[in-house]
Amino acid sequence: MHEDDIDDDDMDDDEDEDDLPEFSLEELTQLGDADETGSSRLILIEERIIPSLAEIVAIANKDNRPISIEECELGKAQIDSANIDLSIDESVFADEVHFGNGIFLGKLTFCDVTFNKKADFGRAVFRENVHFEDCTFHDPVHFNGAIFEKGAAFTFCDFQEGAAFDSGSFRGEVDLSESIFRKKVTFNDTVFKKVIDLHNVQFKGGLETTGSNLSDMKKEARVQKKGPQKAYQKKVKHKKTEFNPWRELDRVSKKTMSRRDMPRGVFRFLPDKDTEEK
């Protein structure tokens, strides 16, 4: 058999393996139902094509069950309310995302998620923490008028088109560290109640903050570090001079030890009692 024929066959097999099966709502019955006491059980969906996220969220809302979606391809997602935690990891939104005007009572977590088309979170109310980590937005994303009652994080994200947070309200701490905004990002008339972390953020397309107190919260963050933070750093510096068995273990060769042997290895470097008394 010719080598080219083998390669073609392997390629065909790979393409078949890459085709994800479509998720059916009937599968939810196989994932376990809420028990009689009402305590929730996780709805875990892996490696599926999800045509309608809204239908799954509606069922989860009714049974009070958190949702975890991993390595999936999602179609158009239009969610107007969710009272459960929703976590989406290593997945792709192939169509538009509409969470605008929604009320979300649980935590929202998006980790390593790609948004291929427009994402609208405008005028949504987030009662719990919201975290976007290592996400890519290929089209514009809107959070205009959104209310974040707790923490909001957009870390290590890549905004390839415009991003708008105008007239928003951030009532908890905000973290934009390590993210890149390739086009203009706007925070016009946005109110921040607590500090905002802009560590290593890149605003390549420009930043607008007209009517916002963003710059004041940046300054406040620096002021806070001058007092208690400075004292804390002195305390940490002092502690580094004290004996630390883990540091001694690192110095010798922690990498050659297994996790099981590591605790035993620590005792090799504990100071001798007689030495301490002297």
pLDDT tens digits for range 260-270: 444 444 444 44
Q: Give the Cα separation of 143 and 166 in Å (integer).
A: 7
Q: Give the Cα separation of 278 and 266 in Å (integer).
A: 22
Residue 19's pLDDT is: 85
* CB count in 10 Å sphere of residue 215: 12
Instruction: Yes or no: say if 92 and 70 are a contact pair by the CB < 8 Å rule.
Output: no
Tokens representing residue 168 in the block:
């928003």
Instruction: Name the β-bridge partners of 49.
Output: 22, 73
Task: Kindly list the domain boundaries of the chain, sorted by start residue.
Answer: 3-223, 243-277
**Does the structure show a pLDDT above 50 at 234?**
no
**Predicted confidence (pLDDT) per residue in 97-132, tens digit:** 999 999 999 999 999 999 999 999 999 999 999 999
Instruction: Yes or no: say if 155 and 174 are a contact pair by the CB < 8 Å rule.
Output: no
Half-sphere exposure of 18 (CA within 13 A, CB side): 6
Q: State CA 88 to chain mean position distance.
A: 9
**Predicted confidence (pLDDT) per residue in 141-191, tens digit:** 999 999 999 999 999 999 999 999 999 999 999 999 999 999 999 999 999
